[in-house]
Amino acid sequence: MKTPLLIEQHFHGCYGVDFNTAAVDDVIYLSKEIRKEGVGYIFPTLVTDSVSNTKQQIEIIKTAAKNQSSDMAKIVGVHLEGIFLNPEKKGIHDAKYFMTPTIENFQPLEDDFIKIVTLAPELSSPDFIKYLKDKGIKVQAGHCTGGDLDGCDGVTHTFNAMSGISHRGKSTALSALVNDKLYTEIIADGVHVSDDALRLLFKAKPQDKILLISDCLPCTHSKLKEFTFAGSKVFFDGIRAASKDGTLAGSTSLLPDIVKLLINKGLFNEQFILNSYKYHNLTPAGEIDWDKMN
């Protein structure tokens, strides 16, 4: 089976590299290595941090993008996951840096290389989402509790760090499943979401609205077992990466690893790969032959 190269729109690093602390050479190195794995485009994702460090890392990622060669996964923008989240669903994020999602709070770190923003819509000012969308930024609901997702383009790591399915009233996960206009990220690594929850999403959502992501961490495909991420000490036991209190910090699988897992489970659909190209209006940068992948 052959498909276009993968698009990774939500990951925090791998090969020992953390986008929140990486230097230009680190980002370039990562983009070259991940291209060998079958990933053609990447959106380095920044976890919640100070405004000053967030701005610094955006500049580093932009500089790396300008210095890439053709044998690297092309850096096409930054996914800003942090800062505008709901403390009730903070996950591993450091809530001391959270700010209310408003135009005024976004402008100090605003940059044309920010292409995706994850936020809590229930905390957002009425005009903030429109402001982002008018600038061509994809707005995704995540780390949130609200069920009104009107105006959002998608949902960040569906089921994780959001209000779950409820048979009374609205919830984020329920709205994600029943709104056919919304794209839904999903971490199908076998740790973050059960197979039954995957099957539910795959049945409920139009097949062209499902986005596979990894949400992977710096320890992925590296020798790291203990490291600091989002201000917390994270421990990797070979399967899960979590803080001392058991909070999952992210995935430890690259996106190609996840695709192979879905293929083996009989849950993979080639449409899932094509969806990312449509979502970001990108042209396939090559193809991957899954029969030849180890």
What per-residue confidence (pLDDT) applies to 294?
63
What does DSSP assign to residue 161?
T
Are the C-beta atoms of residues 15 and 7 closer than 8 Å to each other?
A: no
Task: Single out the residue of 59, 61, 69, 57 nearest to residue 20, CA to CA.
Answer: 57
Helix (H) or strand (E) holding 129: helix 128-134
Token look-up 């967030």 returns 54
Model pTM? 0.98
What per-residue confidence (pLDDT) applies to 202?
98
- Ordered by start, the domain boundaries in the chain are 2-292
pLDDT tens, N- to C-terminus, the chain (294 residues): 999 999 999 999 999 999 999 999 999 999 999 999 999 999 999 999 999 999 999 999 999 999 999 999 999 999 999 999 999 999 999 999 999 999 999 999 999 999 999 999 999 988 999 999 999 999 999 999 999 999 999 999 999 999 999 899 899 999 999 999 999 999 999 999 999 999 999 999 999 999 999 999 999 999 999 999 999 999 999 999 999 999 999 999 999 999 999 999 999 999 999 999 999 999 998 999 998 886
Are the C-beta atoms of residues 253 and 219 closer than 8 Å to each other?
A: no
Its CATH architecture, for the domain 2-292, is Alpha-Beta Barrel (3.20)
- How wide is the angle at C-alpha 254 spanned by C-alphas 251 and 259, nearest 5°? 105
Are the C-beta atoms of residues 215 and 257 closer than 8 Å to each other?
A: no
What per-residue confidence (pLDDT) applies to 50?
98
What per-residue confidence (pLDDT) applies to 72?
98
- Please give the structure tokens belonging to residue 72: 């690297």
What per-residue confidence (pLDDT) applies to 292?
82
